[in-house]
Structure 1
Amino acid sequence: MINSIDRPNAQTHFPDKINSTDLCLAPLPNVEAPLFTVPIDSCDTHAHVVINDPDHPMTANRSYTPPTASEAHYLSMLNSTGMSRGVLVQISVMGTDNNYMLQVLRNNPDRLRGVAVVDTDITDEELVQMHDSGVRGLRINTLFGGGISFDALEKLAPRVEEMGWNMQFLMDARQLPELMPRMRALPCTCVIDHMGHMPMPISLDDPGTQALFSLVKDHGFWVKLSVAYRMSEHYPEFSDVTPLAKALINIAPDRMVWGSDWPHVAIKRMPDTGRMLNLLATWAPDEKIRNKILVENPAVLYDF
C-alpha cells in the first residue's frame, strides 16, 4: 500500500534539497502581465494561505517551512492575475488544522472555495460546517509530510460523495499503474493535482502517463493544469511540459482547470505567478477552450 513516505525512486520533485526547517522563499511581489484577455469569473483553482502562530502551529513532520501567506496577500495575487475567483487548498504543513483557511473562506463567501485535509474520524457535523464555509473537496497527499495518505482513501471517498464534493490527489502519476484498481473504484468525483506531478522529460507512452490518460478519458477524472515549474527541466519557459498539458486538454477540455500553486513553496528559484497563467496561451490557444479551463469548468467543479 502506498502511503505518504512511499515515493518513486527517480528524480525528486524539488529542484534542490529543502530542509524542513529552512524558511522558504517568498513569492515575487510583481507578476508578468497576461498575454491574453482574462475572462470575467476566471478562477485560480490551486493556491494556499498559511500563518504560523501559537493558534495555528505547523506540523512537526512537515517537509518544508513556508513564510506567512496571508489572506490580504493572497487576494492581492488574485487581483494581479485577473482572477475573480479562487480555490484554497489546505497546505500540508498545517496538517488537519484547516481553521485559517476556513476563516479566509468565510470572509470571502462569493469569491472563494476550499479543499480541506481531514482525518478519517471527522464527524458529519464538522463536514457540514466545512461545506457551509465553502469547502468543496478533500485532499489526499502521497508526496509531502503533514498530509493525509492513501490509507484514508476508502474511508473518506464515500463521505466525499455524500457531500457532493471532490477528492483531490497530490501524487506522482508514476504510482498510478499499481493503484488503478483502487482509483477506478472510487465513488466520488476525483481530481489529479498538478498534471500528475511527474518530473520531465517523460514520455506520453510512459505507463504512469498512460494510466493518467485512462483515468481522465475512461473514468471521468479531472486534472489541474499547474506546477509546470516543479516538473520542468527548462526553466523558465517550461516547454517540456507543453506536450503533456496539450494532451490532457485534448482528451477532456471540459474537465481541465488551472491553478497557480501560489505561494510556490519549497523551491530554490521563485517562478513568476503571471508566467504560470500565461502558459495557457500556449497550452490552450483556442479562446473558447481557455475560457472553459478558467471559468466554466471550475464553476462546475467547485460550485460557484
Structure 2
Amino acid sequence: MTPLTFHPNPKKPDLVLPAGACDAHCHVFGPAAVFPFSPSATYAPEDAPKEKLFELHRHLGIDRAVIVQASCHGTDNSAMVDAIAASNGRYRGIGMVARDVSRKELEDLHEGGIRGVRFNFVTHLGKAADHDAVREIVAKIIPLGWHAVIHFDAHRLVGLAPFLKELELPMLIDHMGRVDASAGLEQEAFQLLIQLMEDERFWVKVSGSERVSRAGPPFHDAAEFGRFLVERFPDRVLWGTDWPHPNIKQHMPDDGALVDLLARIAPDAALLKTLVVDNPTRLYWPETL
C-alpha cells in the first residue's frame, strides 16, 4: 500500500492552545532538490519543507516546536538545522548521528539547536540500532546535557527494556511506545512502558495517535492511552503532531483534529499547560526558566 501524503487543508482547531505551546515531535523533509534524501533510506517522502511546517504551526496556534530527524535523511541533519536557524530560537531539534561522530560535530549541532539523538528500533525503518553503537554515542552526548529519543515497535520492548535501563541519561519514548490500542491498557507492552516510566530518567510522547489507534479517526481509542500517561506522569510527558506523518498508509490525520484530541488526552487546563508548555520548556529551553 502506498503511503499517503499529508493533509492538504487541516481544520482550524476548536481547542485554543495556551501561549508558548510546543509541537514536540514533527519533521522536515527536503526539499529534495536542496536537501537530498539518504541513499540508504527505506522510503522517499513527499517534500515537506520548513515553510510548510511554519505555516501549519501558525494555523494551529503553536508557538514552538522540536523537529525530529527522520531516517529518510539519515545522519545528514542539514534540513533540520536549516529550519531551526530560520525559527529565531523557537525551534529545537533531535538529530541522528553516526557511531564515529566527533566532538566538534556534536558541538556544531548543539550550536545549531540540537538537544538529543534519536535511535530507531522500528522494523520498517531498516536495521535496528546497534547496542554498542548506542552506548558509544550516549557517552559522547552526555557531556552536552542531551537526551536520547527512543523509537521502537511495541513488541520489541520486552528485549529492549533491560538495555535502556543501562543508559545513564534521560530517555524520551516516541509515540506511546507504538502500542496497539485494541489490546487495552493491560497489554504487556503498555505495562512494560509504565514500568519504565516509574524510573524518572524516562519521558514519553503522547503523540502518534494515528499509529496507535485501531479504530481510526478521530482516534479516541489512542487518546485513552495518552490520557493515562498524562495523568500518571504529568511532569514527564510531551505532545507532538508527527507532521507530515511519514509512512501512514491509511487514515492520514487532520492536524487540526489532532490538536482537538488534546481535549481528551489532557482535559484539565493545568494538565494541558504542563504538557504543551511547561514540560517542553524544561527539556528544550531550560535557559528561559
Q: Could you state the TM-score of these two structures normalised by the residue count of structure 2?
A: 0.92
Q: Deviations over 1:8-36 (max 9, x none)?
A: xxxxxxxxx44xxxxx4332232222233
After TM superposition, the structure 1 = structure 2 runs for residues 1-304 of structure 1, keeping only pairs within 5 Å, are 17-18=1-2, 24-53=3-32, 56-143=35-122, 144-145=124-125, 149-151=129-131, 152-268=133-249, 269-303=251-285
Runs (5+) with no aligned partner, structure 2 = none
Mapped to 2, the partners of 1:58 and 1:259 lie a distance apart of 23
> Sequence identity of aligned pairs in percent?
34
Q: Deviations for 1:86-132, whole angstroms, at most 9, x for unmatched residues?
A: 11111111111111111111222411000000011000011011001
What's the CA shift string for 1:246-304, capped at 9, x where partnerless? 22112210111110000112223321011111111011110000000010000111126
Amino acid at match of 1:113: R
1:211 and 1:28 mapped to 2: Cα distance? 33
TM-superposed CA distance for 1:142, in Å, is 1.3
Q: SS of the residue aligned with 2:205?
A: strand
For the structure 1 residues 78 and 54, does the alpha-carbon distance in structure 2 shift closer, same or farther, using more than 3 Å as the test? closer
Whether the 8 Å CA contact 1:61–1:146 is kept in 2: the answer is: no
Alpha-carbon separation, structure 1, partners of 2:118 and 2:128: 7
When the two structures are superposed, what TM-score results if normalisation uses the length of structure 1? 0.88
Q: Distance in 2 between matches of 1:121 and 1:97?
A: 14
RMSD: 1.8
Amino acid at match of 1:272: D
Amino acid at match of 1:248: L
Per-residue CA shift, 1:67-91, capped at 9, x if unaligned?
Answer: 1111111100111111110111111
- The question of whether the paired residues in 2 share the 8 Å contact of 1:118 and 1:148 is answered with no
Equivalent pair of 2:31/2:48 in contact (CA under 8 Å): no
Measured at CA, do residues 243 and 42 of structure 1 come closer, stay the same or move farther in structure 2, by a change above 3 Å?
same
Q: Residue 111 and residue 266 in structure 1: after superposition, are their counterparts in 2 closer, same or farther (change >3 A)?
A: same
